Amino acid sequence: MKKFDKDRLILGLAGPVLALVVALALTTVVLLASGRNPFEPYRIMFDSASYVDVQVLIINQAGTYYLAALAVAVGFRMNLFNIGVDGQYRLAAMMAALVGASVSLPGPLHILLIVIVAMLVGAFWAGIAGFLKTTRGVSEVVSTIMLNSIATALVAWLILPKNFGEQPAGSNNLTTGEIAETGWFPGLPMGDGGEIYGFTFVAAGCGLLYWFVLNRTRFGFDLRATGASESAAQASGVDAKKMILTSMLISGAVAGLAGMPTLLGDTHTYSLDFPTGIGFTGITIALLGRNNPLGIAFSALLIAFLDKSSASLDQFGYEKEIATIMQGLIVISVVVSYELVRRYGVRRQQQKVGEELAAGHAIKTEKEAAL
């Protein structure tokens, strides 16, 4: 059995805990500076989250965030920064909605077709960045940022009524048309509190699959090895360029799934009201969760809690943007706290090595003296 490493566990938890504490402290300072009660907003948000309907909203939102964060985490584990998750997610959701609204199939097949289209579109869009990196050495950061802009323009063009979109009578909104009920993913009813999206449970399954592939398969080992040292991986026979392209394709496919909880469980169409910015939130969650599926789950719930519970702040004279400030501070705190923890970990490791060498030297001296 693998020996339990207490120091590793403590250092693993220290980063996110320190980030949350710092973000909470800085938010409190901001509230004090604005002349507000620094603790009342937290009480209001926790009271709001005690209602079942808000809890359902938090869980549903967390499912979407979880998939977006997993997409980012796949890239992170390969030392790739896929900033294009948001564009991949929106383009995939729209194309899946177009296909879903234009066909009529039995329930399971209809849902499966929509999901496959979303994954293929997301993988294709991310694959462009992967192809440019492996063939031309283009930074995935630059290419995915540009692809986000192109995806935004492409979605805006596709959804026009003269192309593939529709404009409901008496509305300024544009949609792709509604998916037939056979393409709706069944959820879990929660009485008067609404319904938990069925795809939220699929998201949880994706987290388990992510853990298994990364930690229990040869592909996962090669992926982590290439991310740690591309040259070392190549020396051991791993095709680094192939791994980079494969990782971007997988990251894009998972990003395509991020729109499915909302599309299949709520809106059943893609419109101008479809959520945006999910991919960027996924970056925050992946960082806070340290690319660990369990850590990402807790982080997704936290960010979803801040999003949904803050809606009640307006009723008590507080701006709901307080939660947005806290999220921004979490991002800054994550970067700083993880670097501090990393430096401490290096010093701690050096100290342990020194102690072990000193202990070994003392034992050797004692043996020599006994002789």
Greater model confidence, 2 or 296:
296
Least confident window among 160-164, 269-273, 342-346: 342-346
Half-sphere exposure of residue 107: CA atoms within 13 angstroms, side-chain side = 4
Average pLDDT over residues 255-274: 96
Average pLDDT over residues 221-233: 85
- Look at residue 111 and tell me whether its pLDDT is greater than 90: yes
Q: What is the pLDDT of residue 238?
A: 87
- Separation of alpha carbons 148 and 23, rounded Å: 29
* pLDDT tier for residue 35 given thresholds of 50, 70 and 90: confident
* pLDDT tier for residue 36 given thresholds of 50, 70 and 90: confident
Q: What is the pLDDT of residue 87?
A: 97
Percentage of the chain with pLDDT > 90? 63
On average, the pLDDT of the chain sits at 90
CA angle 40, 41, 43 (to 5 degrees): 65
Q: How many residues does the chain have?
A: 371
Of 72, 120, 69, 124, nearest to 99 by C-alpha is: 120
Residue 175 phi/psi, 5° resolution?
-135, 170
Least confident window among 183-187, 234-238, 251-255: 234-238
- Separation of alpha carbons 251 and 68, rounded Å: 9
Answer positive or negative: Cα dihedral of 81, 87, 91, 97: positive
Q: What is the pLDDT of residue 2?
A: 47
Average pLDDT over residues 229-249: 88
- Look at residue 3 and tell me whether its pLDDT is greater than 70: no
